[in-house]
Amino acid sequence: MEQYKRVRGMHDILPGETEKWQHAEKIILETVRLFNYRELRTPVIEERALFERSIGSESDIISKEMYTFQDRKGRNLALRPEGTASVVRAFNESGMQEARKVSRLYYYGPMFRYDRPQKGRYRQFYQFGVELLGGRSPLYDAEVIEILDTIMKNLETGGHYFGVNTLGCPDCRERYAGKIKSYLLSVSEKLCQDCRTRMERSPLRILDCKNASCKEQTRDIPSIREILCAECSEHFGLLAGCLDRKGIPYKVMDNLVRGLDYYTKTVFEVFRSGDDNAVAAGGRYDTLVSQLGGADTPAVGFAIGMERLITVMESPLPEVPALYLVCMGSGARDAGAGIASGLRMRGITVETDYDDVPLKAAMKMADRAGVKWCAILGDREMERGVVLLKNMSTGVQEEIAAASFITKAVERVKP
RNA sequence: GUGGGUGUAGCUCAGAGGCAGAGCGCUAGACUGUGGAUCUAGGUGCCGGGGGUUCAAUUCCCCUCACCCACCCCA
């Protein structure tokens, strides 16, 4: 028989790893709850145009990485490559903006991009994201950054810091793009091929190029912060002050520009110390909601790349069942089933096996399960109306009357 | 999309144009109802797939697929 294999770019998250995921999910959920964010679940499939309009059809995500298809009725659909567009779509569609001045939402689920697989990068990958809609003040930017900071701290990633920058409002951005072009026009032949095409499509991205020659050419270009309008400048200043007061570690990074078109003003990424791949990133998108047909609603949010987060976080201690139940003989197995139920009802994790194996083999299974306690029930014990309880780490074994076994075992096993 | 690396036992990997290897794990026994430690014994297998060169290919050549890494992109 031929073995089926996972399709390229897809990955299984196996036991041993799922514990890590669940731990991360738990910390994240506890954190957003403290800030009173509520979950929004959207479908994995959306109209293709939704993403083209929000992310920008010039971007790589849309032009080469999206899973698109037609359904049986010829609708043009796509597997979501990110979460924000769907959240905004649902926000607009549900009339949520009528009900509250500020909506605090989070989402979690798989996203799809046809990328070449790499470390921490898969074609189906998971993002956890937070979106705050309806808040204009930089204090809201600081709030979502604080959420991310809290998550990183609680997951013991071994230190992290934020990169922060501003892209300004659309006016500032356009002005700055013009400035970059005027700086680089005369030296365009010294730029890499990619950057030459970026000159037209998204000149800001040239600042982010890793090519040495490109870096050389962009070195003297002034920071965008020097040409911001009064409002954008104030916004960034207030945010910085707020982050300072909260004690959140950050660096202002001139070359931090986001690849998605919808960002305005604040953009940020969080890095694990000593790592240059961002674990999570986000920013403000004040024009997206209206651009997708909603009321004029400023917004800010971030998304965590779960696979990346998993690679930088501390592993939780593995969970081990509390007790292993060994039964020999069918009568003992019947009685054992009752004991197992009784223990589980009292919150004790019990593992057992139903194969008729010699005690030696069963003990080996118990050992391998990593349990501290082992209950043994065979014909001899049945006859005498007792159950053996063995402490696997000390080797000490006691005999307990079957009638009181569950209560006694709970006492021993529960610390 | 570009570049590099790797595919051999369940796992980690060594190997060489001529019998397929080690460590770990696994199974059994020493110990017949007690796990871990020790000793002894044991099977580990389409050497990723296809083609070519050769008397002979797991080894050399070509193609292909998969995985890993970097770039790119992005979280």
The number of beta carbons lying within 10 Å of the beta carbon of residue A61 is 20
Per-residue pLDDT reduced to its tens digit, A161-191: 999 999 999 999 889 888 888 888 877 777 7
The number of beta carbons lying within 10 Å of the beta carbon of residue A212 is 9
The protein residue nearest B74 (Cα–C1') is: A259
Strand B nucleotides within 7 Å of a protein CB: 1-3, 26-29, 32-36, 65-75
Q: Quote the pLDDT of residue A133.
A: 96
Does residue A285 contact residue A264 with C-beta atoms inside 8 Å?
A: yes
Q: Quote the pLDDT of residue A206.
A: 83
Q: Quote the pLDDT of residue A100.
A: 67
Beta bridge partners of A349: none
Provide the CA A374 to C1' B12 distance, Å, integer. 32
Flag whether pLDDT at A1 surpasses 60: no
Is the CB of A328 within 7 Å of strand B?
A: yes
pLDDT band for position A89 (50/70/90)? very high
Q: Closest nucleotide to A390's CA, by C1' atom?
A: B34
Pairwise CA distance, residues A226 & A236, whole Å: 12
Pairwise CA distance, residues A281 & A305, whole Å: 8
Is the CB of A8 within 7 Å of strand B?
A: yes
Is the CB of A258 within 7 Å of strand B?
A: yes
Domains in chain A with CATH codes = 18-169+229-312 (3.30.930.10), 323-410 (3.40.50.800)
Q: Closest nucleotide to A308's CA, by C1' atom?
A: B75
* ipTM above 0.90 for this complex: no
Flag whether pLDDT at A66 surpasses 90: yes
Mean pLDDT of the residues in chain A: 91
Q: Closest nucleotide to A114's CA, by C1' atom?
A: B73
Does residue A260 contact residue A82 with C-beta atoms inside 8 Å?
A: yes
